[in-house]
């Protein structure tokens, strides 16, 4: 928790929160992965200190592939030493790869993932970047695959009160994109109150 707070404080724009996701939120984000049958291919984007990663690791079986993409080198080092190394030492036959990169830049196989789980703080980004990242993640899914992401409940409304007109326009553009994707990808939404702050998990299914 202190490690997360310290890195988050120095990288507020890309981390977007001071608390890692609660066990309830982490489990809800990983729900599509828990439901998916092995052998499966899973991608996690923006794991931070790894509360969702832990839930995903528990579901892996022989033949599964799990790619993790994290921008921050500090979070990657932390994740490797505290979570992935101990997990590998247990001798699991699943293939887990950590990429220290931005999701919009990393090379991964398009159309190949059953599930993408995303922890990025979209409301902190320019809407053009959110669009690029959303389309990239959907491109990586196989048809019928699922993308799960979250946003803090009521965050756009609260943020709007402290932003200038340009900032409010940006949030409105993000909202429009999320609504369009919700409609075109059979979207579902679920509120998770047991998190600081409360959050909403959104799931999109690639047609
Ligand atoms: C809100 S934190 C989420 C942490 C974790 N998933 C959780 O639930 O506690 C967002 C994470 O996304 C990472 N990140 C931000 N932009 C990214 C990008 N373009 N590609 C990959 N990771 C990114 C940040 O470094 C940070 O670790």
Which structural domain, as residue segments, surrounds residue 122? 2-205
Tokens of 37: 């049958």
Q: What is the pLDDT along the chain (207 residues), one digit of tens a residue?
A: 666 666 666 666 666 676 889 999 999 999 999 999 999 999 999 999 999 999 999 999 999 999 999 999 999 999 999 999 999 999 888 999 999 999 999 999 999 999 999 999 999 999 999 999 999 999 999 999 999 999 998 888 888 888 899 999 999 999 999 999 999 999 999 999 999 999 999 999 999
Distance CA(207)–CA(192), nearest Å, equals 26
Domain count, the chain: 1
Contact 71 CB / ligand 1 (< 6 Å): yes
Rounded distance, CA 99 to CA 67, Å? Answer: 7
Task: Tell me what pLDDT residue 59 has.
Answer: 96
In contact, 140 and 112? CB cutoff 8 Å: yes
What's the CA gap between 58 and 43, in Å, rounded? 15
> Is the CB of 98 inside a 6 Å radius of any atom of ligand 1?
no
State if residue 76 touches ligand 1 by the CB under 6 angstroms criterion. no
**Dihedral, 70, 76, 61, 1 alpha carbons, nearest 10:** -100
Is the beta carbon of 14 within 6 A of some atom in ligand 1?
Answer: yes
Whole-structure pTM value? 0.94
Helices (H), the chain: 2-10, 12-15, 23-29, 31-35, 51-59, 73-79, 85-89, 127-140, 155-160, 165-184
Q: Which residue has the tokens 């690791």?
A: 57
CA 80, CA 76: separation in Å to the nearest integer? Answer: 6
Q: 204, 186 in Cβ contact below 8 A?
A: yes
**The domain spanning residue 83 has which CATH number?**
3.40.50.150
Q: Of 60, 59, 54, 57, give the one whose Cα is nearest residue 23.
A: 54
Cα distance between residue 14 and residue 93, in whole Å: 33
Q: Ligand 1 pocket, 84 CB below 6 A?
A: no
Contact predicate 59/87, CB 8 Å: no
Antiparallel, parallel or unpaired: β 65-70 and 188-192: unpaired
Q: Which residue has a Cα nearest atom 14 of ligand 1?
A: 46
Protein residue closest via CA to atom 1 of ligand 1:
15
Of the residues 48, 100, 101, 102, which should be mutated to test ligand 1's pocket, given the most ligand atoms within 8 Å of the CB? 48
């Amino acid at each position: 928790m202190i490690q997360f707070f310290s890195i988050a404080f120095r990288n507020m724009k890309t981390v977007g929160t001071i608390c890692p996701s609660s066990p309830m939120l982490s489990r809800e984000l990983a729900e599509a992965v828990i439901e998916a049958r092995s052998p499966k291919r899973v991608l996690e984007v923006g794991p931070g200190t790894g509360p969702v990663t832990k839930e995903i690791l528990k579901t892996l079986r022989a033949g599964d592939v799990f790619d993790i993409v994290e921008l921050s080198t500090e979070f990657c080092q932390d994740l490797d030493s505290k979570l992935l190394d101990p997990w590998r030492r247990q001798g699991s036959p699943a293939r887990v790869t950590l990429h220290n990169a931005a999701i919009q830049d990393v090379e991964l196989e398009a159309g190949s993932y059953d599930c993408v789980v995303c922890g990025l703080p979209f409301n902190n980004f320019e809407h053009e970047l959110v669009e690029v990242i959303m389309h990239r993640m959907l491109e990586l899914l196989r048809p019928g695959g699922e993308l799960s992401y979250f946003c803090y409940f009521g965050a756009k409304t609260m943020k709007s009160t402290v932003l200038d007109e340009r900032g409010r326009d940006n949030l409105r553009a993000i909202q429009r994109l999320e609504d369009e994707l919700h409609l075109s990808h059979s979207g579902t939404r679920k509120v998770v109150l047991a998190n600081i702050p409360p959050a909403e998990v959104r799931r999109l299914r690639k047609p």
